[in-house]
Structures are given as C-alpha cells and as structure tokens.
Amino acid sequence: MRPILFIDRDGVILQEPKTDFQIDHIEKTSFVPGVITNLHKIATELGFYKVMVTNQDGLGTEAYPTNQFEPFQQLMIRTLAAEDFIFDEIKIDTSYAKDNLPTRKPGTGLVQHLMNNENFDLAKSFVIGDRWSDILLAKNIGCKAIYFKSGNHTLTADQAIEYKDTIALETESWAAIYSFLKLGLRKVQHERNTKETKISISLNMDGSGQADIKTGLGFFDHMLEQIARHGSIDLAIKCDGDLHIDEHHTIEDVGIALGEAFALGLSDKRGMERYGYALPMDEAEAKVLIDFGGRNWIVWDASFTREKVGEMPTEMFFHFFKSFSDAAKANLNISCKGENEHHKIEAIFKAFAKAIKMAVHRNPASDQLPSTKGVL
C-alpha cells in the first residue's frame, strides 16, 4: 500500500499574498523557499501518492474568474514537473466557508475515494498545510499533519492543544519536511520503575527544545532543561523518587533512564554524525566530548568546593553522567574549570546538550553507518 501526501497550495507551495490571500497576478506568484528542490527529492526518492487539496474561495465566479487562476496554477504545475514532481491528483474546492460544503477543507468530500481505497496506507500518510483546516483535515482523514508555519496563519492556544496528537511535525522549512518524510522522527516513550523511583520519559531527538521536567529537585530540573533547550530536543521527565531518604536514587535513576531512552532513540544510527563536542562559556570553561558508538566510558575532570548547589549534592553530577554513559552506551569526556560552582555545573550541562545536538544530527542524503566496522 502507498502512503499519500495531501498538499495544500497557497502558503505551502506558492507564497500567499498577505494583502488579499489570492494569487491572481504574475507579480503575486512566487514559490515558497526550498519547495522546488525538496519536492523533487520527495518525488524521486520516496514513494508517496501526491494529491494537491486546496480551497479557492469563489473560483469561477465574477469575484475570482478562472482566467485569473489558471495561468498561475499551470505555471506552478509546469515548474514542478520540470523538477520531476507531478501531482497524481489535483482537488480544488471553489465554495465559500459560509456554504459549509463537505468538499471544502476540513471536509473530506474531495478525498473520500482515497480514504476508502485498500491501495493506500492512511496511517503512513500526511497532510501538509499552514492552516487549522489542514490539520483538521488530517484528523478527519485519519492520518497525521505536517504544520507548515508560513507566518500568515497561526493556531490559537486551544487549537494547539486540540491538534497536538495530530501534528507530527511543525516547521518553517521544506528541507525539514523532506528529512522528516525520509528519516522519520526519533521519538521515545520510556519508563523505568524500581522500588526507589518511578520515572517516565518522553524524548524527541528531532524536536525544538521544549522541556517539562519534574524530578522534585529544583536545581536538577533546571539542569535537565538545559539539555532540552540547548540540544534542541523535546524532553519530558517525571520522577517520583524516595527523596525522603536522600537525592541519590532520583539523580542516578534519571541518568540511567535518560541514557536508556537515548539508546532506544538511536537504535538506527545510519546517517548520524555519531560524535559531538562543545566548549563554552563565561568564566567557567567546560569541555564535553561524546561518542554514541556503542561503548560506555567516562572521563571526568571537574571538581567542586561546595557540597551542594541548591538541594543537589555536587558529588552526584559525576554519578548522573556516569549513569547516562552506561545506559546510553556512550563515551563521555567531561572537563571543567572556573570559579563559580553554579556556572561550572551549568556550563557542563549546556556543553553536554550542544555535544548531543551535534552527535545525533542526521544527513538525509546518507544511508551509511558512521563506522568502518559496518556495525554499531
């Protein structure tokens, strides 16, 4: 079965004029940056059935004559065809929103024949669009949405919550769309439960730096947030630990669980950089080197004069990174020097995040393992 790409036109393929949102003159016709190159890659490398689905208010009426639409529609079609991208179907609804017709997005009237066709895999299909109606169309079809943030239309806070589970990717970049369609997102849901801690982790290595951390240790939460923000990963951690005894189990087990989540997310290392390094910052100079090569080892050259920072024992920082290294099967080399203990620790976590960001980066043009052994 083939997956389908349902692609909106205005604001996604062609730039949508901010004045009247209508492409009816050559001066108002231009392509979204990167769309031609990446649609070519999608067409020649991936096996999607390609369908354009667009609302064109009042097309064919005096308000929007067909001769003000077709020349620029055909220009788009010819340009994309010259780069090997040809739509299998083009579906245009010409009604107004007030007409409330089932053929108008987010209605599925124009694509029902594809939804009821055993030749297509809707579970692996996507709607690419820049409006709430495109996302709701995906939900109504039973597939996922790629929300293209064109800048002309934004979701309300309520819509963002409502469509959270439908949106597979939010981006302003066609290169990111191509990469996502070819490689997928590395998302992990992981739990680790012992008699001492109960930990749940949600990890998206191809995220945007969103964090939701609740370990019961404020300073530790703050440091883990640095990993998400500066590593450009989405990370949610909830830990219910035996803090009434001490902090040890919580910090150690979070390190283990996070390392396990990374090991799961990096199970396929094809096209990945594998290595990362970072050397920041301020008066505290931190150096972190990382290798997700499948062998755990840690070199630690950092010392602290304070027993605690916040409620977190400084002796536990080594233990956290050692636990991560063991569970992720990663080689870590960490060193830091400076005067302010808070700055030193934060510099280590930020450098760690930057090293991770570099190491987990993937090249969608490469299908090779980053090793001459041929296995990792």
CA angle 177–46–373, rounded 5-degree value = 90
User: Virtual CA dihedral for 115, 119, 124, 127, nearest 10 degrees?
Assistant: -40
The answer to whether 177 touches 38, Cβ cutoff 8 Å, is yes
Predicted TM-score (pTM) of this structure? 0.74
User: Among this protein's residues, is 8 annotated catalytic?
Assistant: yes
Block mean pLDDT (10 aa), the chain, length 376: 96 86 79 96 96 95 91 95 97 95 96 95 96 96 94 86 90 93 89 97 92 96 96 96 94 97 88 76 82 94 91 94 96 92 92 93 76 65
Confidence at residue 22, expressed as pLDDT on a 0 to 100 scale: 76
CA distances, 291 to each of 141, 356, 376 (Å):
42, 9, 11
User: Among this protein's residues, is 88 annotated catalytic?
Assistant: no
**What residue spans define the domains of the chain?**
4-183, 187-359
User: Virtual CA dihedral for 159, 162, 163, 166, nearest 10 degrees?
Assistant: -170
Confidence at residue 276, expressed as pLDDT on a 0 to 100 scale: 82
Fold agreement (4-183, 187-359): no
Confidence at residue 269, expressed as pLDDT on a 0 to 100 scale: 81
d(CA 79, CA 95): 27
Q: In what helix (H) or strand (E) does residue 250 lie, and over which residues does it extend?
A: helix 248-265
> Which residues 6+ apart lie within 8 Å of 262 measured at CB?
203, 205, 292, 324, 327, 328, 330
Q: Could you tell me how far CA 90 lies from the centroid of its own chain?
A: 28
CA distances, 177 to each of 37, 146, 217, 268, 355 (Å):
12, 8, 37, 20, 24
Confidence at residue 372, expressed as pLDDT on a 0 to 100 scale: 65
Confidence at residue 282, expressed as pLDDT on a 0 to 100 scale: 63
d(CA 308, CA 303): 12
Q: Could you tell me how far CA 197 lies from the centroid of its own chain?
A: 29
Confidence at residue 279, expressed as pLDDT on a 0 to 100 scale: 67
Q: Spot the catalytic one: 10, 93, 130, 206.
A: 10
3-state DSSP call for residue 114? helix
Query: Which strands sit side by side in the sheet containing 297-301, from one edge to the other?
Result: 275-278, 285-291, 331-337, 297-301
Q: In what helix (H) or strand (E) does residue 78 lie, and over which residues does it extend?
A: helix 70-82
d(CA 122, CA 132): 19
CATH for 187-359? 3.30.230.40
Confidence at residue 85, expressed as pLDDT on a 0 to 100 scale: 97
CA distances, 93 to each of 9, 285, 298, 347 (Å):
12, 59, 60, 54
Residue type, 166: T
Q: What would be the CATH architecture of the domain defined by 4-183?
A: 3-Layer(aba) Sandwich (3.40)
